[in-house]
């Protein structure tokens, strides 16, 4: 089943689509969640929450705004971060190098996963050092903009401006 066929079934709330959705994406999403949460049982709970959120919020996904895989990956990442914050985890437990995070996405059995992860690290490395640092904190380590501001000891507005400019630079490299 292709991703487009799956999306049609999910929009129709076809029960078989949920099984296909889980089969296609559970391993890669679990890998990301498990690295962030660092506890297998809690990661399994988060994974279940993620699939429920995907199912319930499918109407908020718009193909024109990005890839489906990227959308569900963001749901997984944000749900994991919410879990960490609910347990009052400190930043040292969340810190991961972007190298570790990007390589988790490479599941040799799933072409969809490869498409979204191949070369991202190389594009990030082409950015200015300040951009690499900000993207690493905000997107790979799960920091809020306020936390990044405190970590880098720069004003919040500067973090927001750098983030916007760095994402635009990354879009230019990716030609998106």
pLDDT band at 50 (very low <50, low <70, confident <90, very high): very high
On whether the CB atoms of residues 163 and 145 are closer than 8 A, the answer is: yes
What pLDDT shows up at residue 160? 92
What would the pLDDT profile of 7-34 be if each residue is shown by its tens digit?
A: 888 888 888 888 888 999 999 999 999 8
Buried b (16+ CB within 10 A) or exposed e, 118-141: eeeeeebeebeeebebbbbbbbbb
What would the pLDDT profile of 77-103 be if each residue is shown by its tens digit?
A: 999 988 888 755 444 445 555 555 555
What would the pLDDT profile of 93-145 be if each residue is shown by its tens digit?
A: 455 555 555 555 544 444 444 434 446 667 777 888 888 888 888 877 778 88
Q: What percent of the chain has pLDDT over 70?
A: 80
The span from the CA of 114 to the CA of 100, in Å, is 15
The span from the CA of 85 to the CA of 93, in Å, is 11
Residue among 15, 27, 43 nearest 109 (CA): 27
Measured between its terminal Cα atoms, the distance across the chain in Å is 26
> What CA–CA distances, in Å, run from 38 to 89, 95, 140?
11, 11, 15
What pLDDT shows up at residue 137? 83
What pLDDT shows up at residue 166? 87
Q: Return the percent helix, strand and coil in the chain, to nearest 5.
A: 80, 0, 20
| 25 contact partners, CB below 8 Å, separation of at least 6 | 69, 72
């Amino acid at each position: 089943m292709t991703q487009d066929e799956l999306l049609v079934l999910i929009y129709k709330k076809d029960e078989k689509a949920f099984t296909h959705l889980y089969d296609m994406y559970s391993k890669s999403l679990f890998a990301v969640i498990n690295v962030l949460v660092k506890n297998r049982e809690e990661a399994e709970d988060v994974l279940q929450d993620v699939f429920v959120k995907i199912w319930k919020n499918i109407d908020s996904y718009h193909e024109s705004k990005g890839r489906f895989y990227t959308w569900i990956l963001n749901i997984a990442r944000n749900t994991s971060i919410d879990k960490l914050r609910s347990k009052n985890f400190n930043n040292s437990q969340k810190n991961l190098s972007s190298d570790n995070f990007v390589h988790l996405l490479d599941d040799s059995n799933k072409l969809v996963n490869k498409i979204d992860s191949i070369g991202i690290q190389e594009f990030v490395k082409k950015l200015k050092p300040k951009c690499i640092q900000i993207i690493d904190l905000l997107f790979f380590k799960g920091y809020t903009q306020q936390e990044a501001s405190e970590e880098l000891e720069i004003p919040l507005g500067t973090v927001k401006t750098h983030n916007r400019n760095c994402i635009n630079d990354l879009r230019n490299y990716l030609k998106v």
